């Protein structure tokens, strides 16, 4: 290939863990905590495992978050604490590369919660939302629900619960890989390609992908 890998691994984009957090608010820097984690493991393009768990953040959540997620204070009262869930989740993800829709949000919470248990994750992150903007420029929007409808992807009809959103993001990710492969005749798609694609200007995305065939 003619495009340098910039030191990124040659691991493939069809072997990742797709994750989603539900949280008490928008920023761990402002003291917000995770209240649910959902994740789907994909290996060689096939779903091989799932993870879902509520977690008790140690305080009550707002009525807005209850309404937005459907997660109630009563549900969290009996949930295990964040440290316990995140210890288990760290074992689940291993060193897999990770995918999320609006990944900067989920990455901040993952890193913040892992710091609290003095753990780290060595894999890389990619954002399905940023990639979708490059390969589906004509979509009405690049929100997860809109893209699911736009591409006629499977959905349970539930939104803003962690595993349901992770499942939909998984279907979107696999669809994007298929579309890139079909449009640009790529037999394999490195994870690094998807990371770089999310950063190139939208107008340059097609040309960027064409170069990977050379």
The domains of the chain, with CATH numbers, are 16-209 (3.30.420.10)
Q: Average pLDDT over the chain, rounded to whole?
A: 92
Tokens in use for 127?
Answer: 């954002």
Q: Coil, strand or helix: which one is 41? A: strand
DSSP classification of residue 81: B
Q: What pLDDT, on a 0 to 100 scale, did the predictor assign at position 160?
A: 77
184-205: pLDDT as tens digits: 999 899 999 999 999 999 999 9
Per residue in 16-59, pLDDT tens?
999 999 999 999 999 999 999 999 999 999 999 999 999 999 99
What is this structure's pTM? 0.92
Q: Quick one: the chain helix, strand, coil %, rounded to 5?
A: 45, 15, 40
Written as six digits, the tokens of 176 are 């994007």
Residue 142 has pLDDT above 70, yes or no: yes
Under a CB-based contact definition with an 8 Å cutoff, are residues 39 and 51 in contact?
Answer: yes
pLDDT at position 210 is 87
Distance CA(86)–CA(183), nearest Å, equals 39
**What percent of the chain clears pLDDT 70, i.e. is strictly above it?**
94
Residue 113 scores a pLDDT above 70: yes
């Amino acid at each position: 290939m003619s495009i340098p890998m910039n030191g990124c691994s040659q691991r493939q984009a069809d072997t990742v863990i797709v994750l989603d957090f539900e949280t008490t608010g928008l920023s761990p820097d402002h003291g917000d905590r995770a209240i649910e984690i959902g994740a789907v493991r994909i290996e060689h393009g096939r779903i091989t495992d799932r993870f879902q768990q509520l977690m008790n953040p140690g305080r009550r959540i707002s009525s807005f978050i209850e309404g937005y997620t459907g997660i109630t204070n009563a549900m969290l009262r009996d949930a295990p604490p964040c440290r316990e869930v995140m210890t288990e989740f760290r074992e689940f993800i291993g060193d897999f590369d990770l995918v999320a829709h609006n990944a900067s949000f989920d990455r901040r919470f993952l890193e913040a919660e892992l710091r609290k248990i003095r753990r780290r994750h060595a894999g890389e992150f990619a954002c399905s939302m940023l990639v979708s903007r490059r390969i589906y420029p004509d979509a009405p929007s690049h929100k997860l629900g809109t893209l699911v409808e736009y591409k006629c992807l499977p959905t349970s009809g539930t939104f803003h619960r962690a595993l349901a959103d992770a499942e939909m993001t998984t279907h979107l990710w696999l669809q994007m890989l298929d579309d890139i492969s079909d449009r640009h005749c790529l037999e394999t798609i490195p994870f690094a390609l998807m990371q770089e694609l999310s950063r190139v200007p939208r107008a340059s995305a097609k040309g960027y992908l064409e170069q990977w065939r050379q």
